[in-house]
Structure 1
């Protein structure tokens, strides 16, 4: 095993599976920090991520293969995505003073929404709706593999509406710039907050700017609460009007006027894609990123 990173809750290792044939892909082992093993809230969050993701299997969602406890240490073993997270990709575009081609951005957004639509509609083996809310849809949790796959990961703060007690009550989850106005207002999380986050990410890919910035966290929170996101065409007139219309709806100040589901949001993005002469898939996404970021 080789340590490849760590976060506030866990350390991450790259490992090979014992007995696997030569050439088999490695797996990622995520292990809760030892000092958090005695913190019930931290353990609950870690086990929630394992329990949620073990029930999911979709090309646009990072797969978790196993989880458990060994020598009093909690772990989960998951799919290794060789590539970069979307935060790194967007930052690279900003460094080069570039923005995503609108059709490419729509492809990435559609892949995110495809994964979210699956997650939001996930059911238990007995057919009961899980009502999963990811709550941390950010560029850092969207992964773009070296083969052009777009995958949603890190369900560490996910909420299952069907199982209220599985998350810490009263906490604001998610990276600040991608929180919805409803989260800032302290409302109960619903799947609409994940769609808001996708809208913000989509907006940032197209504009090359951050949607919400401020001198301090409170300033950012107040800006989010007002929900005044500029039209993308005010920043770049070259962005198609259809995408502007989609994002104006996705980021509308009033929640009831936004897309009701990930599938509805996805359908509008796909409608735009189908009207474009240039079509993208995983292979052409890799070609585009390689060319633009060389």
Structure 2
């Protein structure tokens, strides 16, 4: 697997079409995202997240993601506002999520030496899985199943609104079995440490592949560490650890959550939760039975506390 070093996206000026670039929100191997301001038709100012694909990324990949975002509409998926082009550069304007991504939230908690509460971890998992369940079942406008798999679930692609919503974003490597969308067969295109065992082998992906990635994220939230990370840059070592998927769960972890993690992270697809709904159901049952059923308002208050958000 080749890991590309991100390069800055060049823009001709701070103004890009109708948008005024303010700052860079994040970057990855395929794109960079900027905070940008604009004015709507009523003269009211608003802010967006403006995504630019890197110059070396095939135009088809950009078009695929833009088309998917236009087709999909769900409260737990990042919404596309506009697709456009200015100064010869295409862009996607997306809703701005002021709570940032889960990775940033995890780092803030680590700096504050605070754990991720189990009830909130389960809630984040459930909300991500709601979005994935819709994603996996998405159809074309004519009703044909797309057979979508996200393929890149990781903390950097899970976002929070200031109102406490949890949303999945970045559909740049999503694979559609029912359409010519996504990476070529046999290509492991997601972030290395969040690949499923079948992804590392170049096998066809299923919703259970995304379930495995959600299991990794849950493990990080509940235990503060990645289950398969190794102190090496050797890709093969990391892939072998993912394929073996040996878990070392402490006795202090709630038994119900431990059982959920073991099933979500089973290297055998047949033994794993098959769908987002199955894993979400297990997490919801645990939340209700443990009295830790978290609400959107709880998340909003918690984000305000951890990140200092106002409102």
Same-fold call, TM cutoff 0.5: yes
- Map 1:1-294 to 2 at 5 A: 1-5=20-24, 6-23=27-44, 25-33=46-54, 35-36=55-56, 42-164=58-180, 166-214=182-230, 215-216=232-233, 217-231=235-249, 234=250, 237=252, 239-291=253-305
CA contact 1:122–1:131 (8 Å) conserved in 2: yes
Q: 1:24 to 1:268 in 2, by over 3 A?
A: farther
TM-score by length of 1: 0.89
Structure number with higher helix proportion? 1
The alpha carbon displacement at 1:96 in A equals: 3.5
Give the drift of 1:154. Answer: 0.4
SS at match of 1:75: strand
The alpha-carbon deviation at position 29 of structure 1 amounts to: 2.2
SS in 2 for 1:154: coil
| 8 A Cα contact 2:183 2:189, kept in partner | no
User: Which SS does the other structure have where 2:100 is aligned?
Assistant: strand
Q: Contact between 1:3 and 1:11, CA under 8 Å: does it hold in 2?
A: no
TM-score of the pair, normalised by structure 2: 0.84
Give structure 1 stretches of 5+ with no counterpart: none
RMSD: 2.1
Q: Residues 253, 151 of structure 1: CA spacing in aligned structure 2 closer, same or farther, 3 A cutoff? A: same
Q: Deviations over 1:182-238 (max 9, x none)?
A: 11122122221111000110111000011122222322121111111223xx1x61x
Q: Structure 2 unaligned runs (5+)?
A: 1-19
Per-residue CA distance 1:146-179 (angstroms, 9 max, x = gap): 2211110000111111114543444211111111
CA contact (8 A) 1:250 1:259 kept: yes
**1:86, distance to aligned residue in structure 2 (A):** 0.4
Give distance in 2, aligned partners of 1:7 and 1:183: 20
- Equivalent-residue separation in structure 2 for 1:209 and 1:188 (angstroms): 28
**Equivalents in 2 of 1:91, 1:192: separation in Å?**
28
Q: CA separation in 1, counterparts of 2:69 and 2:254? A: 36
Distance in 2 between residues matched to 1:174 and 1:118, nearest whole Å = 20
Q: Secondary structure at the match of 1:25?
A: strand
Count of residue correspondences: 285
Over residues 110-160 of structure 1, what are the superposed CA-to-partner deviations in whole Å (9 max), with x where a residue is unaligned? 111111111111111111111111111000000122221111000011111
Change beyond 3 A, Cα 1:19–1:25: closer
Alpha-carbon distance, 1:53 to partner: 1.2
Residues 26, 165 of structure 1: alpha-carbon distance in 2 compared, 3 angstrom cutoff: closer
Deviation readout 1:78-101 (Å, 9 max, x if unpaired): 111112210111122233343222
Cα deviation, 1:234-263, whole Å, max 9, x if unaligned, reads 1x61x3211111111111121101111111
Matched residues in 2 for 1:124 and 1:99: separation? 42
